Structures are given as structure tokens and as C-alpha cells.
Chains A and B, each alone.
Chain A
């Protein structure tokens, strides 16, 4: 070390102005951090789809025609003898329906309940369209009469009123989905002061409510998780170095990293999505990794050269560490780049991009601010590293160093055993991966005892369900929907749809026409069928308008009777259920509607609604998951290969992470954890993070063998107490950081945290076992061994 290498020169120059560098670092934190308050939250599930996705674009078009926004659904449940058909419960329904109109963001024209809907009744010589109750009932007899009327109107049975009369819904559409959180709070307050009778329970659910609930839920979660993660990591740092600077300096890097990543998100107007909650924790884990290695090296230098000055120590630590740190930064960024490229979902794309930004900033701070600080501070020893000087033979005789040394000896003695275990993990991982189930249900985001989960259960078990699939029927000409053949085709479609599992009912203009036809034929049950000529249909609508509202059929048919909507009700929001239904209906439409020439049939149909959106969304999640794993692995491999100028090196580098990802697949496959929104991200992140361990291991072995001229066994022995020990704390910081996520209330985040923690653990173990064993057995050329050895 007599001649100055370029690296030495660089860090010497850099550390000449430590104060300036620290000041610049702090300024960057303040500058980027100042944007954070402007971050916007976006908890809509639509946010997970690219805004130009055809399913989303079509849904918006349909929404424009029929209204049909994601609703808030209020359920009134009464387990009493008469169910909700008692004067008090019905009064409550009327009260809620009326009060809802006053709530901001609720569309007053789009409130549907027993108190707002009209009954269509046949009389001896005519037809009656009138509300189920104009005045709220005061006696049980009146309530009984209402029950009879409702149960005699097939359209409302199951959709608005439970078949057994135990529950009824008030469905209210939102004007602006983005303001769901405030509206949801307003609804809860309304429910709180609602005049409940004996036995009445009120639930608030629906897609609107889920978004609304999620906002508050995530806020509370983030406020708890992030400080907790920082605390846990500081604790790990303190154990590792047992000095104040060792515990605090990496935290400065954390601050810079999180501030720039989130600040830049805010500055670019990227919203804070549900999964963005995991970003700070991921960044905290990444940010400390670089400084753990620098600090470890620094304390080793202090122990070895007690007389050196601050600047020399800092420079020497950096000279040894800049290469592995830069390498791991590049490979980690490659991992996140893979996530960003492969995902079509904006939240994940942005997650990848801003995690990359964070990793880069963490590198920048570790390369500049950390040595600057170390130069400024007096050389300080760490008790954890003191013992290193005592016996040069047995480095790292602190407990952690010793622990790692034992592991090293085992690997040297039994490489075959290590590799066999590795092979078993790989095989079981592949088996587990085949058992992986792609599935998701929005409601599983919440803990089971949350009010929203209970509400969802109450609605989907008592009624037909509040998960909607919309089938839009399109005819070429105005008033084509009066034609009986078209109506019959819709009727057949509805008949078919209700045979599908979890589909309990559907509503379309056909149901109203049948009801009117029956009413016009003196309420003869046999007349519950479609009229047989277009004139009759047109005249029935006219007849209805004699007492109905002009906007009454807005949800079912467009104003010039060319487009109709069939709303299908499912009692489950599970992807596997939605998939089965959507695919079956798509096939039906393909064969019965769209395959036939439009000129002869004149009718087409397409899918829309929340269920269809979910289907496309989750389906793309499955596709993009394996794609992102492949891309991340390839990018990481390419990056490692390039920087070590060896394809074999690249390949060997990704083995530990590949093993860890396969192990997670095995865990998921065998314990039935779904591949879902939260869990699907684990792999790319685990690859980006886990690869650090193998990069550090390989880099150090390379240095020890190539430059230090050690034999393979000597190199491995030396690797464990130094690099191995640093990696142990790197791993501890990451695992405990992600471990914090397992305390999250948001279930997918909890699973995500657990999976990444397990993945990081296994890639650490693999890097410390399989990797050295493999190198010992294969003796690859890039590591610098003489073939003859």
C-alpha cells in the first residue's frame, strides 16, 4: 500500500472536505424531504391497473352510460322473528336512505333501497307503480304487507332484501371514488346516530367502503411500522458495533435514502399506494447494509492500525469496501429494475423505480457522507473488534465472529453435505412452485376481526352478494332492445349465468319487463315472461313512466334503448371464483353473442364491472410475477457477470437467491399461501436484496485468493469471521426490518414481510454454505485458483 491506487486517491481527496460533504448530504435530505408532505394516497383498487388497460377504459365507458360506480353498501340486519320487516327496521332503512342524500360525495340520485324503489303491482284492470312504502309503517301488519310485496317482486329478492327477510341493503354510489375515505367516515358517523330498533345491526361494506377503510388502516399501520423498523435496526447496529457512531451513522444513510425516495415520489406526483407502505421498510433494510460493511471494515482497520489517523482509517475502509458495495448496489438495482420492468401495475412499477432510487442514494451516502463523518470523528475502537488484535490467527473471537468461524469449518469439512441439502431445497422448491395458487380477495387485506370483514360477510351470506359483474349488451340501432329476440337472448344469458357457482342472481331490464307484463295481466304468475312484440315492450315502458321517475331504468338500459346492462351478483370476491365465472361467461358470450355475425344477430356483449377488472388485474399479476422473477434473476446475473468479467461468476452469484426463491415457493405451495398482490412482490425484492450476500462472499474470496494468494481453505477460513460477521449483521438488519412488517395489520404486507424475511435468511445461509462449498468443489477460474492446486 505504498503506491496510491486511484481509489485511494479518490477517497483521500473526498475526505479533505468532510464538513462540506456532510452539509451537502444534510441539505439533500432537507430538500427532498420537504416534498414528502405533498404525497397523495391512492388506495383504489383501480390504481393497480394501468389507466389505459382496456378493461378499465371500457369500465369507465360503461360507468358513463349506466352510472354504476363502486358503491357503499349499508346492510341492515335483524335476527328477530320478522327479520327487517318490522316497523322499526323499515323506519331505519327509510331514515338512512334519506340521510344518505345529505352526505357529501354520495350521489343523491343513486341511492337504492326498499325505501327508494318502486313496486310494480298488477291490479284488476291495470298496473300500479308505487314505492314499497310511502309512509314508514307503524304496525307489524303494515310491515308484513311490505314483506309480501317485496318477496313478490323477484328483482328485489336477494339483491336488496335477503331471501329469508333477515337483511336488506341500501346501496349508495359515490361521486368521487378518490374521496372514499372521508365518505366512509361520514357513513360510520351516520350509522352511529341512526335510530336503531331492537335487534338491528348496521354494516357498512362495498367496494367504496373497502377503499375508504383501507386509507385509514394504512395510515395507522405506516405510523407504527416505520419508527418500529428504524428502532429495531438501530438495535441490531448497536449489537454489531457497540458504539454510538456505529448505531447512528447508518441511520443517517437511512434518513437520506428514505427522504430522497419518498420525496422524489412526491415531487413527481406519484401517489402512495397500498404496497408503498412496504417501501420505507425495504429502504431502511437496504440503506444500512452498505454502512454495516463499511463500519465493520473501519473497526477492523482501527483494530489493526491503532495509530492511524481518522482520515487514513476512513480511506482504508473505503478502499477495501467500495468495490463490493458498488457491486451489491448494482445487483440490487438490477433486481428492482426487474420488478419495475415486468409489472404492468403502476404501484409495483413505481415501487421498483423508487426502490432503485433509494438504493442509489444509499450507495451515494455510504460512499461520501459515511467516510466524511468517520474522518471528522476521532478514531474510535469497537469492543466487538478489539479482540481481533489479540490473536492474529483467530480473528473475530467475539461471539458472532466465532459463530461464523464454526460455520466456515463445517463447510470446509463437509462441502458434500452442504451441497446435498442445497439440492434437496431446490427440488422441493420446484415441487412447491407447481402447487402455487394464484389467488386474491380484496377483503383478505384486513384482519378477520375488522368491522369491514364482518360487514362483507354479513352481506355476502345473507344476500346474493355485493360483488358485481356487469355484462353490457350492445345493439346497433336505437330501440333495438325493444325487439323480443334480443330480450330473449339476454334472458337466456341470465338463466345461464345463475347456474354458475357463487352467482346468486342477476338484474336486467328483462326482469322489469317480466314484472310489468305480469302486472298488466292481473298479476298472473304465468305471465311473468317477456312480451312477444316490440310494440308491447315500448308501450310497457311508456306505461311505467306514467308513474315512475324519468331516471328509473338508468342502471339497466341507456336512454335510447340501444345498450343494456346485466348486473350479476357474486357472493365472493375471491379471484379463483371470479376467474371461473368470468371465463365461463366469456365463453358463453363468444359462442352465443359475438360469434354470430353482427348483421344477422345485431347484438354483442362484453364484460365489465368490478369482478371483471379484478379478474384482469390478478391474472396479469400471475403472469408478471414469474416474468419479473426471470428478469430480475437475469439482470442480477448479467450485472454480476459483467462486473466480475465471468459468466460463471454471474451464474454462481445467483444460485443462493434462486435457492431462496424456490424455498419460498415451497413454503407457499405447501402451506397454501396464495401468490397474491402482496406476496407476488417478495421474489424480485428477495433477489435484489439476497444477492448482496453472495456478491460480498464471492468478492471477498476473489480478493483473498487472487490478491492475497491464499489457498481455498485459507480464504474460506478467513472469510467467515470478517465478511461473514458483517453479512450476519447485514442479514439481521434486513430480516428484523422485514420482520417488523409481520406485525402489520395489513395482511398482505404481513405476509410479504414474512416471506422476504425467510427469503433473505435462506439466501444468507445459502451464501454462507452452498456458495463456498460450491466454489471449493468446482474451483472456478474467476476466483483466481491455480487449476493445479
Chain B
């Protein structure tokens, strides 16, 4: 690479942001790279959900989760293992690729011995008492291309890794309202294309949430985050997801994603 005069570079940065952006991958390029990352067809894993309220009181729930792609459709089921009084409760979702079709959700309540269908949640609703929205749970480490326009605004080091900073803005007001954010700023690892840090800005333009993705390790050749944390700045509530026993290879039966399987339990 040719040595560039620093003053000239700074001038360029100031005068022509586009020129600068050209030196970094564009927002859409980064987004495409993120979504191209292998997530495996199916996965089974232990998830410990740790929710903390603003006074520091905690609710800890151990779950086992399964996820499998059926073509474009994604099915997820979560079984609660502890605490005792919610043991065997199961939560199942079918996410359809077509955004216009509402997702289907069911909850199995062992105390009633019944599977209950729950209303399709709004994408911006909070997921099972955590600080993640359904949209974030559904996307896992991916991003939704059509909801946002994005641009690369720089780079930074997060947790010792080089990241590109992209700023995503919802395409229109309705989408912003649906998602619950007016802006999302992400620090994307420049090598493995996974967000290491994300900052969410509320519809009222206030700092809302910050998430970190940590303990990223390869599992069976797939980059996998083992720790997700999110802090809600508005409510003081926070959530930590710790993943273990991640397995992309052991086949998961299609039958697992049925009401009957939920009733039967693990």
C-alpha cells in the first residue's frame, strides 16, 4: 500500500466521508458478511438465563434449547430445567421467512398439562422476561437486512479485537416503532463477522441498551458466542445468557418441534 500523507487523509475524511468509507467495507457488505456466516442447520445447547433487576436480585433459569432450520423456516424449542416450579415448561416458536406472516408460538405449562398458544409477539416485545427482544432472539447473531439502512462509521478495538462500527437506522418510522429503536450501533469483528458490542437507542433518542457478545469460540468449526450480556439503561434490568454443551452435529429429530414433544418433555 502506498504511504498516504496524513494531512491529506484527514482532509479527505473531513471533506469526503465517502472516500473514507471506501477504505472500509460498506455497511451492507458487512451485513452480508454477517449473515453469510455459518450457523449450522441445527443446534442443541444448554442456556443459563440470568436476569438481574436494578436492586441486584436475580432469577436464574437453566434451559435446554434446540433450533433447526426447515428450509427458510426456523423452529426453536426451549425446555426449562430449573427452578423446580417451572421445570418441564417448554416454549416453542416457528419463525417464518415471510415477514408478513406472524410467527407461531406455544407454551407448554406442565401444571395445566396443556400446550397454550400465545399471541404472536411483536418483534420489539421482550422475550420471556429477559432484556432481549423477540427480534434479537430470532436473529441470534445475524442482522435483518431489510429493516435498516446502514453505514460504516469507523473502526475500533473491542475486547482486544478489531471491529468495524456500523450504524443502522430503521428504514421508516413504522419499522422503528415495531423494533423499538431509532438507531443501532454495532461493533462487528473484522475477521469473523460477529457483533461484539451493540448499542441501542430508544425511539426517544436515549441510550437504551448495550449488549456484549463474548467468549466467542469455534465449536465444530462454527464460531459460537458463549456469553451474551445485555443491560437495559432505562430500567436498570440486565440479562446474561451463558451457553454450554453447544452441539451442531448430533441430528435433531423434526418431531422434537411439536406440541406432542413439548408435552412429553425431555
Point out the residue from B57, B83, B107 that lies within 8 Å of A543, measured CB to CB.
B107
Any B CB within 8 A of the CB of A538: yes
A122 nearest in chain B by CB position: B116
Point out the residue from A123, A125, A127, A550 that lies within 8 Å of B130, measured CB to CB.
A550
Q: Distance in Å from the Cβ of A622 to the closest Cβ of chain B?
A: 37
* Alpha-carbon separation in the docked complex, A548 to B237 (Å): 14
Q: Distance in Å from the Cβ of A87 to the closest Cβ of chain B?
A: 19
Asked whether B59 lies within 8 Å of A559 as measured between CB atoms, the reply is yes
Asked whether B119 lies within 8 Å of A65 as measured between CB atoms, the reply is no
Asked whether B105 lies within 8 Å of A539 as measured between CB atoms, the reply is no
Chain A, 595-609, CB within 8 A of any chain B CB: none
Binds A, one of B28-36, B66-74, B84-92: B84-92
Asked whether B53 lies within 8 Å of A539 as measured between CB atoms, the reply is no
Binds A, one of B13-21, B121-129, B245-253: B121-129
B84 nearest in chain A by CB position: A535
Point out the residue from A125, A128, A538, A549 that lies within 8 Å of B86, measured CB to CB.
A538
Asked whether B116 lies within 8 Å of A533 as measured between CB atoms, the reply is no
Any A CB within 8 A of the CB of B110: yes
Asked whether B116 lies within 8 Å of A101 as measured between CB atoms, the reply is no
Question: Which residue, A102, A533, A551, has most C-beta atoms of chain B within 10 A?
Answer: A551
* Alpha-carbon separation in the docked complex, A539 to B234 (Å): 27
* Alpha-carbon separation in the docked complex, A123 to B51 (Å): 29
Known: A64-B55, A125-B117. 19 other contacts (CB 8 A): A102-B204, A109-B235, A126-B116, A126-B118, A128-B118, A479-B85, A520-B116, A537-B85, A538-B83, A539-B89, A539-B111, A542-B80, A543-B107, A546-B107, A547-B125, A550-B130, A550-B232, A550-B239, A558-B57
Any A CB within 8 A of the CB of B24: no
Chain A, 536-575, CB within 8 A of any chain B CB: 536-540, 542-543, 545-551, 554, 558-560
Asked whether B204 lies within 8 Å of A101 as measured between CB atoms, the reply is yes
Any A CB within 8 A of the CB of B101: no
Point out the residue from A531, A546, A551 that lies within 8 Å of B121, measured CB to CB.
A546
Any B CB within 8 A of the CB of A482: yes
* Alpha-carbon separation in the docked complex, A543 to B111 (Å): 12
A65 nearest in chain B by CB position: B55
Given contacts A559-B53, A560-B57, contact A108 B116 (CB under 8 A): no
Q: Distance in Å from the Cβ of B114 to the closest Cβ of chain A?
A: 8
A124 nearest in chain B by CB position: B117
Asked whether A547 lies within 8 Å of B121 as measured between CB atoms, the reply is yes
Asked whether A547 lies within 8 Å of B85 as measured between CB atoms, the reply is no
Any B CB within 8 A of the CB of A130: yes
Given contacts A101-B204, A558-B57, contact A539 B110 (CB under 8 A): yes
Any B CB within 8 A of the CB of A362: no
Asked whether A535 lies within 8 Å of B111 as measured between CB atoms, the reply is yes
For residue A430, which residues in chain B have a CB less than 8 angstroms away from its CB? none
Any A CB within 8 A of the CB of B131: yes
B53 nearest in chain A by CB position: A559
Q: Distance in Å from the Cβ of B139 to the closest Cβ of chain A?
A: 18
Any B CB within 8 A of the CB of A407: no
CB-CB nearest 4 A-B residue pairs = A545-B129, A559-B57, A538-B85, A536-B111
Any A CB within 8 A of the CB of B22: no
Size bracket of the B interface: 35 or more
Any B CB within 8 A of the CB of A129: yes
For residue B232, which residues in chain A have a CB less than 8 angstroms away from its CB? 550
Asked whether B116 lies within 8 Å of A127 as measured between CB atoms, the reply is yes
28 contacts between A and B (CB under 8 A): A65-B55, A101-B204, A123-B119, A126-B106, A126-B118, A127-B116, A129-B119, A482-B85, A520-B109, A535-B86, A538-B83, A539-B89, A539-B109, A539-B110, A543-B118, A545-B128, A546-B91, A546-B105, A546-B118, A547-B121, A549-B126, A550-B126, A550-B130, A554-B53, A558-B57, A559-B57, A560-B57, A560-B59
Any A CB within 8 A of the CB of B112: yes
For residue A554, which residues in chain B have a CB less than 8 angstroms away from its CB? 53
Any B CB within 8 A of the CB of A493: no
Point out the residue from B119, B130, B131 that lies within 8 Å of A126, measured CB to CB.
B119
For residue B131, which residues in chain A have a CB less than 8 angstroms away from its CB? 550
A537 nearest in chain B by CB position: B85
Q: Distance in Å from the Cβ of B79 to the closest Cβ of chain A?
A: 12
Chain A, 92-108, CB within 8 A of any chain B CB: 101-102, 108
Asked whether B118 lies within 8 Å of A127 as measured between CB atoms, the reply is yes
For residue B58, which residues in chain A have a CB less than 8 angstroms away from its CB? 559-560
For residue A127, which residues in chain B have a CB less than 8 angstroms away from its CB? 116, 118-119
Given contacts A538-B83, A558-B57, contact A126 B117 (CB under 8 A): yes
Chain A count of residues within 8 A CB distance of the other chain: 39
Chief secondary structure at chain A's binding surface: mixed
Point out the residue from A128, A134, A540, A550 that lies within 8 Å of B237, measured CB to CB.
A550
A543 nearest in chain B by CB position: B107
* Alpha-carbon separation in the docked complex, A64 to B121 (Å): 31
Any B CB within 8 A of the CB of A630: no
Asked whether A543 lies within 8 Å of B53 as measured between CB atoms, the reply is no
A130 nearest in chain B by CB position: B119
Chain B, 5-60, CB within 8 A of any chain A CB: 51, 53, 55, 57-59
Q: Distance in Å from the Cβ of A61 to the closest Cβ of chain B?
A: 12
For residue A537, which residues in chain B have a CB less than 8 angstroms away from its CB? 85
Q: Distance in Å from the Cβ of A528 to the closest Cβ of chain B?
A: 16
* Alpha-carbon separation in the docked complex, A546 to B115 (Å): 14
For residue A560, which residues in chain B have a CB less than 8 angstroms away from its CB? 57-59
Question: Which residue, B110, B119, B121, has most C-beta atoms of chain A within 10 A?
Answer: B119
The digit string for B124-157, where 1 denotes a CB below 8 A from any CB of A, is: 0111111100000000000000000000000000
Asked whether A125 lies within 8 Å of B116 as measured between CB atoms, the reply is yes
* Alpha-carbon separation in the docked complex, A109 to B110 (Å): 33
Asked whether A539 lies within 8 Å of B85 as measured between CB atoms, the reply is yes
Any B CB within 8 A of the CB of A785: no
For residue B57, which residues in chain A have a CB less than 8 angstroms away from its CB? 558-560
Asked whether B118 lies within 8 Å of A547 as measured between CB atoms, the reply is yes
Given contacts A129-B119, A130-B119, A520-B116, contact A550 B51 (CB under 8 A): yes
A549 nearest in chain B by CB position: B126
For residue B237, which residues in chain A have a CB less than 8 angstroms away from its CB? 550-551
A521 nearest in chain B by CB position: B112
The digit string for A512-541, where 1 denotes a CB below 8 A from any CB of B, is: 000000001000000000010111111110
* Alpha-carbon separation in the docked complex, A533 to B106 (Å): 22
* Alpha-carbon separation in the docked complex, A534 to B131 (Å): 26
Asked whether A551 lies within 8 Å of B116 as measured between CB atoms, the reply is no
Asked whether A542 lies within 8 Å of B116 as measured between CB atoms, the reply is no
Question: Which residue, B125, B129, B204, has most C-beta atoms of chain A within 10 A?
Answer: B129
* Alpha-carbon separation in the docked complex, A128 to B122 (Å): 12
Asked whether A542 lies within 8 Å of B86 as measured between CB atoms, the reply is yes
For residue B119, which residues in chain A have a CB less than 8 angstroms away from its CB? 123, 126-130, 547
For residue B121, which residues in chain A have a CB less than 8 angstroms away from its CB? 546-547
B52 nearest in chain A by CB position: A559
For residue A550, which residues in chain B have a CB less than 8 angstroms away from its CB? 51, 53, 126, 129-131, 232, 235, 237, 239
Q: Distance in Å from the Cβ of A484 to the closest Cβ of chain B?
A: 12
Asked whether B85 lies within 8 Å of A535 as measured between CB atoms, the reply is yes
The digit string for A209-253, where 1 denotes a CB below 8 A from any CB of B, is: 000000000000000000000000000000000000000000000
Q: Distance in Å from the Cβ of B200 to the closest Cβ of chain A?
A: 15
For residue B111, which residues in chain A have a CB less than 8 angstroms away from its CB? 531, 533, 535-536, 538-539
Q: Distance in Å from the Cβ of A591 to the closest Cβ of chain B?
A: 31
* Alpha-carbon separation in the docked complex, A533 to B86 (Å): 12
For residue A65, which residues in chain B have a CB less than 8 angstroms away from its CB? 55
For residue B59, which residues in chain A have a CB less than 8 angstroms away from its CB? 559-560
The digit string for A118-139, where 1 denotes a CB below 8 A from any CB of B, is: 0000010111111000100000
* Alpha-carbon separation in the docked complex, A547 to B239 (Å): 16
For residue B125, which residues in chain A have a CB less than 8 angstroms away from its CB? 547
A532 nearest in chain B by CB position: B111
B232 nearest in chain A by CB position: A550
For residue A102, which residues in chain B have a CB less than 8 angstroms away from its CB? 204
For residue A479, which residues in chain B have a CB less than 8 angstroms away from its CB? 83, 85
Point out the residue from A108, A130, A531 that lies within 8 Å of B234, measured CB to CB.
A108
* Alpha-carbon separation in the docked complex, A551 to B58 (Å): 13
* Alpha-carbon separation in the docked complex, A123 to B122 (Å): 17
Q: Distance in Å from the Cβ of A551 to the closest Cβ of chain B?
A: 5
